[in-house]
Structure 1
Amino acid sequence: MRHESWSFVPKEEKQELIDRVRADFILDWTKDNHREMVVTHLSEKYNAYHYELHQVYLKYASHEEALRGGTPVVPKLVWELLCERWASRTFKVYCESHAREIE
């Protein structure tokens, strides 16, 4: 969860997650649609989980309160890393530009 989005997850880590899915489900890996479905679903879930964590962060009254409060679903160090990212100017600019694109 330490990566900004699925796009930034290194290939080795993505492959590890794909291998876990392949171990748990019967898939025909020779079919493009099976491979694409797995990668697409992992990407969507990864990014959706980051969104959910950001919503938890936004419920706190301040950045400092969020750092202190945390959430039981991720380790404290990961939460602190995410909080720093969400408080960064770069992330705020990204959110503003994304909001304008949606409008």
Structure 2
Amino acid sequence: MRHESWSFVPKEEKQELIDRVRADFILDWTKDNHREMVVTHLSEKYNAYHYELHQVYLKYASHEEALRGGTPVVPKLVWELLCERWASRTFKVYCGEVLEKHYK
């Protein structure tokens, strides 16, 4: 959870997650659609989970309160890293650009 989005997750970490899925499910890895489905779903779930965590962050009255409060679903260190990212100017500018594109 320490990466901004799935596209920033290193290939080695992605491969580890893919291997875990392959170990738990019967998949024909020779078929493109099986491989694409796994990668697509991992990407969607990773990014959706970040969104859910951001919604928890937004429920706090302030950044400082969010840092103190945290959430039991991620380790404190990860929560602090995420909070710092969400409070950053870079993230706020990015969100503004995304919203602007969405409402055009």
State the distance in 1 between where 2:13 and 2:4 align: 14
When residues 19 and 2 of structure 1 are mapped into structure 2, their CA distance, relative to the original with a 3 A threshold, is same
Name structure 2 gaps, 5 residues minimum: none
Q: CA deviation at 1:71?
A: 0.1
Q: CA deviation at 1:47?
A: 0.1
- 1:19-64 CA-to-partner distances (Å, cap 9, x unmatched) read 0000000000000000000000000000000000000000000000
State the distance in 2 between where 1:44 and 1:87 align: 23
Report the secondary structure of 1:48's partner residue.
helix
> For structure 1, which segment, 89-98 or 39-48, has the greater mean C-alpha deviation from structure 2 after superposition?
89-98
TM-score if structure 2 supplies the norm length? 0.92
Q: How many residues align?
A: 99
Alignment match, 1:85: 85
Q: CA deviation at 1:97?
A: 6.1
Calculate percent identity across the aligned residue pairs: 98
Alignment match, 2:38: 38
Deviant stretches of 4+, over 6 Å? none
In angstroms, what is the RMSD of aligned CA positions? 1.1
Report the secondary structure of 1:66's partner residue.
helix
Report the secondary structure of 1:55's partner residue.
helix
Q: CA deviation at 1:70?
A: 0.1
Report the secondary structure of 2:2's partner residue.
coil
State the distance in 2 between where 1:97 and 1:50 align: 20
Q: CA deviation at 1:83?
A: 0.1
State the distance in 2 between where 1:53 and 1:23 align: 28
Are residues 1:97 and 2:94 paired?
A: no
Alignment match, 2:2: 2
When residues 97 and 79 of structure 1 are mapped into structure 2, their CA distance, relative to the original with a 3 A threshold, is farther
TM-score if structure 1 supplies the norm length? 0.93
